[in-house]
Every structure is written in structure tokens, then in C-alpha cells.
Amino acid sequence: MKIVVIGGTGLIGSKVVALLAAHGHEAIAASPNSGVNTLTGEGVDAALAGADVVVDVSNSPSFADDAVMDFFTTSTNTLIAAERKAGVRHHVALSVVGTERMTDSGYMRAKVAQELLIRESGIPFSLVHATQFFEFVKSIADAATEGDTVRLAPVVIAPIAAEDVATAVARTAAGSPLGGVLEVSGPEEFRLTELIARGLAARGDARQVVEDPDARYFGAHLSDRELVPGPDAEVFATTFADWLDAQVAASR
């Protein structure tokens, strides 16, 4: 199959392209760097010509409320219009576990809007909802840092390796449309504060992680289990310790 991966040069997209190509698919990495811009429409029709599946793992360069809403609605509408012209038979999008529960976050409201456009497009679709990636431990800490202190709500999280997310997305793209949501997570639950503290310690980062029940998570006020999936989620095997060990090995 010809599968076009929007955001195909990023963290998840590059892995998805490699996995699909390894299984014999014609996997095309599409991004502004390759002349495909879903905000302006540049190169989109040409990239999707002859495509069987479109995978959207792109992300907004800005998390400001208006900017992120504009990104996801404009880019999704652009893709849907091009998919109709090209006769695309399956639209796959990566989203976030708990999106619909965290609508006090502008980012999550934008993801909800994106998913609604996909559901109402008439194009067969699959939505992959992933928990937070191990790779974003530092980004989460940075967003919550005040001086040398990281303030986070001590909520439950079941983080996952980016490689496992890419595997789930690639498998979904190669399969039949789900017409709904697949949730994926890692095998362990942590308190968010514990996860970030362990990740920072492994990096030799001396910042202190402090529990603050009122701390926001990318704009969202969290209750205890909003970041964990339901009982039917696909659980991948990579543990946080395994991932940390792999990072150390790769840096040598």
C-alpha cells in the first residue's frame, strides 16, 4: 500500500515510516521540509495522489490556544479535502489518552475538534490515543519549572516509549479502519511526580520535583486518573527502566 505519513520526519513519524517500509509498504514522509504543508495546502494534493492510507502524526508548533486550534482544524480540513480527491480509504490520526476529559486545556480542545472533523468526514478512520511518551519527561519538567523547582500534580500516569507508539500507529495504518479509538500505554503506572523525578535524576538534573495538586498539566487541571487509559487499552512491554538503560547505551 501507499501510505503517506504527515509529520513523517518527526519523532513518531520517522519511526512509523521506517516500520511501514520494513514491511513492504510504500511509505512517504510528508512534512513542510519535503514541500508538503497542510496549513497552506502546498504539495498536499500531489503527495496524496494514489495514496491508500494517510497517517497524521503532525503537531502544532505553538501550544497557544488560538494557534493550536487553527493548526489542527486547518490542517485536518486540508487533508480531508485532498483525501476525497485522491480516494484515500483510511485516515489514521495520533491523539492523546484523556483528550475528551481535559478540555480546560486549549491543546486538548483542539485535538477534540480535530477528531470530530475526522469522524464526520465520511472517510474510514482510526484514532490512536497514546499516553505520554518517555521521551517528553524533560519537556514536562521544563513546562512546570519555577526556578529550581518542578511543580506537578501527583496524578497517575502510564507512560509509553515512542517506539511502541510508532508500532501501534504503523500496525493500525496497515490494518482495516477501526471506526473508533485504540488506546495504547506502557506497562507501568507512576505518579507523575515520581516519573519526572526519576527521569531528571537519570539525566543528572538537580531540579527538585514538588507535589502540587493545583499544578496545571499543559493548561489542564487534572484529577487522579485522567492520564491513564481504560481497561481495553493495548499495553506495550517497554518499561521506563528499560528505556532509560537504552538511552544511556545509545549515548556511549
Query: Residue 66 — pLDDT band, cuts 50, 70, 90?
Result: very high
Q: Is a pLDDT exceeding 90 seen at residue 78? A: yes
Helix (H) or strand (E) holding 202: helix 192-202
Between 36 and 221, the higher pLDDT residue: 36
Of the candidates 231, 227, 190, which has an alpha carbon nearest to the alpha carbon of residue 211? 190
What pLDDT sits at residue 251? 73
Helix (H) or strand (E) holding 78: helix 65-86
What pLDDT sits at residue 30? 97
Q: Is a pLDDT exceeding 90 seen at residue 113? A: yes
What pLDDT sits at residue 248? 77
Average pLDDT estimate for 190-201? 96
d(Cα 224, Cα 156) in Å, to the nearest integer?
6
Query: Which CATH number goes with the domain that contains 154?
Result: 3.40.50.720
Buried b / exposed e over 23-40, threshold 16 CB at 10 Å, is eebebbbbbbeeebbbee
Q: Is a pLDDT exceeding 80 seen at residue 59? A: yes
Query: Residue 111 — pLDDT band, cuts 50, 70, 90?
Result: very high
Average pLDDT estimate for 179-193? 97
What pLDDT sits at residue 180? 97
What pLDDT sits at residue 220? 87
Average pLDDT estimate for 103-114? 94
Positive or negative torsion for Cα 17, 19, 21, 23: negative
- Boundaries of domain holding 200: 2-251
Residues 217, 196: contact at Cβ < 8 Å? no
Total domains in the fold of the chain:
1
Between 151 and 218, the higher pLDDT residue: 151
- Give me the residue label for grid cell 538503560: 245
